[in-house]
Amino acid sequence: MSDELVSNMVAKMQGHTIVMGYKFLGMYVVERLREMGLEFVVLVRDEAQLPSLHKEGIPAMGSPIARSYQALVKAGAARASSIICTFDDDGDNLLTILNAKKINPKIRAITIVNDDELYEAAVASGADVVVAPYELAGQILAMSTVSRGVSAVFVKGNMKDKFVAEFTVDREDVAMRFSELCRLASVIMVLNREGQLLPNPPDDYTVRTGDTIYVLTERGELLELEHRLAEKGVIRLEPPQG
Amino acid sequence: MSHRRVKPHESFGSRLRDTLDVLLYGPFAILRQIRIQLGLIAVMFGFGTIVFMHYQHLSPLAAFTGSVSTITTIGLYAPNITAMPPLEQVIMVVIFIVSVGLAASLVQSIVTTAVSREILREQLVAKRVSRLSGHVIVAGAGRLAEHTTKWLVNIGVDHVVLTPNRELLRQLIHHGKLGVYGLPERAHEALRIAGVSRASVLVCVFEDDGDNLLFAMNARRLNPKLRILMSAHDKSVAQSAQTSDVDMTLPIMDIVSQVLAQASYSEEVVGVGFRKGVNGEYPVYSEFQVGSEGIGLEELSRVTPIIMMMRGSQVLLNPPPNTVLRRGDTIYTYTEDHSKIRDLRERLRRKAAKQLGHT
């Protein structure tokens, strides 16, 4: 894939996604966009990355900081539907959003912020979705030190900062009515022993050993929830270590 | 799961122990800083004793008293210099010069240690760490270490930060937190100082996945029962770590990429799971605003699982299938397949457009 070919490809793109940066995060975003069958172009600060990207068949262009605006124009920001900023430098990400919104006010701007204190600044710059990876990961890891159950976290919307905890019913011979279980915990779904996901099981569904329950919970409630489930003989708590 | 959230530094007994540490262990900490100088001065005393025994024919105790008296310039014993053999004079001059240098160095070290309280604080922190049990060790140096620590403080879990970053360590100790210094290449020793044998969980959050693996492997050897959590930038490292010594690996960038890629496609994604679902993908949770009246939940559930809904400020978990949605309701879905989000959005949009057309 040559530079000329990439330029021609990009010139024909419409409603595509622009991915800024190609380290681990940019690379994985590209993998997912490919899986989703979406059109995209990658912009990298370091032009030395271009030959290897072209070799992999990834449409990529150089975007040195001094020519950031021009690079976005060349990448078809005016026709793009979204832009995903994955640079390590938050300043670069914010600058990119400002430029992209100037070119195309309707573009959907998605960015990471490495310093979570810049969250508001990113929103003020026009970002539609802001994800703080280190904040998110720190939260997950910290919660996981006290519970093995934490399995998902809400990052925005009405449920922001709530968790989903996942518990496998590991006590022997458990047979509990779903309605009874719901009195113990805010169960949102059950993955039964056969691997079938039951989002809204009927009240008379019997939760048995080997099923996995998904519970909506909050940070301060997690430990109490685990203990409640253990006391009622649903799950097993491991003995304290250390 | 360890439910123990012991906070030894918050109990009265611990506060008392901390105070005693400052009183008793503090001076000892200073002594540790000047132990080399003290050792060399002792050597000088011994050397002087031998010199006096040999040249002045004194008994060992008298020679030792003479040596201490001369080197400390007290002057209880003053042999006649003119009667001394030349070699003894040369040796005495060397002893005096070395001893004066050592004394100056000793005074400087004591003053530095006492004035700069960092060394003393580090020693006291090490002492407090040695009393912890069932604690969490956070090994790392960058932003993720800071965020993990912040959340551990929020949820009230006792922890020690093990870091090769001197500046981070200084800040931690300055703010009264527990931290110990340790380099990845000396992971074994660093973990031992952090009390790994008594800890319940180790969280490895270095920027370098290799450092995380190094700490994880060393920790497993030191405490086979330890629960080890690890972050990984490279998802292939995360996969291989999961099959080795690590209990939970968090492939941060892989998970975040799921949120970002989905967000480029739909604005409804609000949450992400970090355990792969039945289809081997990270599941996403989406939030949809209902813009139409009368749509049945059962109909929408055929598109993708609807796990809960919100009506006003009330969260309704497991809404029955015959629920009829109203305008303004919010529904939540769980899916690993992005196309389901699109399908549901289209279904809701068409319904809303149809109703708008009718009115």
* Ordered structural domains, chain A, with CATH: 3-131 (3.40.50.720), 136-231 (3.30.70.1450)
Confidence band for B213, pLDDT divided at 50, 70 and 90: very high
Burial class of B74 by CB neighbour count within 10 A (0 to 12, 13 to 18, 19+):
exposed
pLDDT by residue (tens digit) across B234-266?
Answer: 988 888 887 777 898 899 898 888 888 888 877
Is the pLDDT at A200 greater than 90? The verdict is no
A187-191 and A150-154 beta bridge pairing? unpaired
pLDDT by residue (tens digit) across A137-167?
Answer: 998 898 888 888 888 888 878 888 788 999 9
CB-nearest partner of B1 from A200, A220, A238? A238
If you measure CA to CA, which chain A residue comes closest to B147?
Answer: A138
Measured in degrees and rounded to the nearest 5, phi and psi for residue B339 equal: -65, -25
Q: Is the Cβ of B285 closer than 8 Å to some Cβ of chain A?
A: yes
Q: For the residues B68-91, what does the mean pLDDT come to?
A: 84
Our CA-based measurement puts residue A168 at a distance from the nearest CA of chain B, in whole angstroms, of 13
Confidence band for B14, pLDDT divided at 50, 70 and 90: low
If you measure CA to CA, which chain A residue comes closest to B150?
Answer: A138
CB-nearest partner of B229 from A33, A141, A242? A141
Q: Is the Cβ of B69 closer than 8 Å to some Cβ of chain A?
A: no
Q: What is the ipTM of this complex?
A: 0.86
Domains in chain B with CATH codes: 15-117 (1.10.287.70), 132-250 (3.40.50.720), 266-358 (3.30.70.1450)
pLDDT by residue (tens digit) across B112-143?
Answer: 776 666 677 777 788 888 888 899 999 999 88
Give chain B's radius of gyration (CA, Å).
Answer: 34
Q: Is the Cβ of B21 closer than 8 Å to some Cβ of chain A?
A: no
Confidence band for A29, pLDDT divided at 50, 70 and 90: very high
Chain A residues with CB-CB distance to B323 below 8 A: none
Q: For the residues B265-270, what does the mean pLDDT come to?
A: 82
Our CA-based measurement puts residue A11 at a distance from the nearest CA of chain B, in whole angstroms, of 20
If you measure CA to CA, which chain B residue comes closest to A148?
Answer: B1
- Residue whose structure tokens are 């020693």: B123
pLDDT for B5 equals 45
Burial A184-217 (b: 16+ CB within 10 A, else e): bbbbbbbbeeeeebbbbbeeebebeeebbbbbbb
pLDDT for B282 equals 84
Full-model pTM: 0.78
Question: Considering chain B, what percentage of its residues have pLDDT values greater than 90?
Answer: 27
Q: For the residues A170-186, what does the mean pLDDT come to?
A: 90
Q: How far apart are CA A145 and CA A158, in angstroms?
A: 26
Q: For the residues A175-195, what does the mean pLDDT come to?
A: 90
Judge: A142–B258 Cβ closer than 8 Å, yes or no.
Answer: no
Q: For the residues A201-226, what does the mean pLDDT come to?
A: 88
Please name the residues between 125 and 164 in chain B that touch chain A, using a CB distance below 8 Å. 133-136, 142-144, 146-152, 154-155, 157, 159
pLDDT by residue (tens digit) across A82-134?
Answer: 999 999 999 999 999 999 999 999 999 999 998 888 988 999 999 998 988 99
pLDDT for A60 equals 94
Average pLDDT of chain B is: 85
Chain A residues with CB-CB distance to B301 below 8 A: 199-200
Confidence band for B61, pLDDT divided at 50, 70 and 90: very high
Mutate to test the interface with B, among A145, A155, A218 (most CBs of B within 10 A): A145
Is the pLDDT at A223 greater than 90? The verdict is no
Judge: B253–A156 Cβ closer than 8 Å, yes or no.
Answer: no
Is the pLDDT at B341 greater than 70? The verdict is yes
Q: How far apart are CA B12 and CA B9, in angstroms?
A: 8
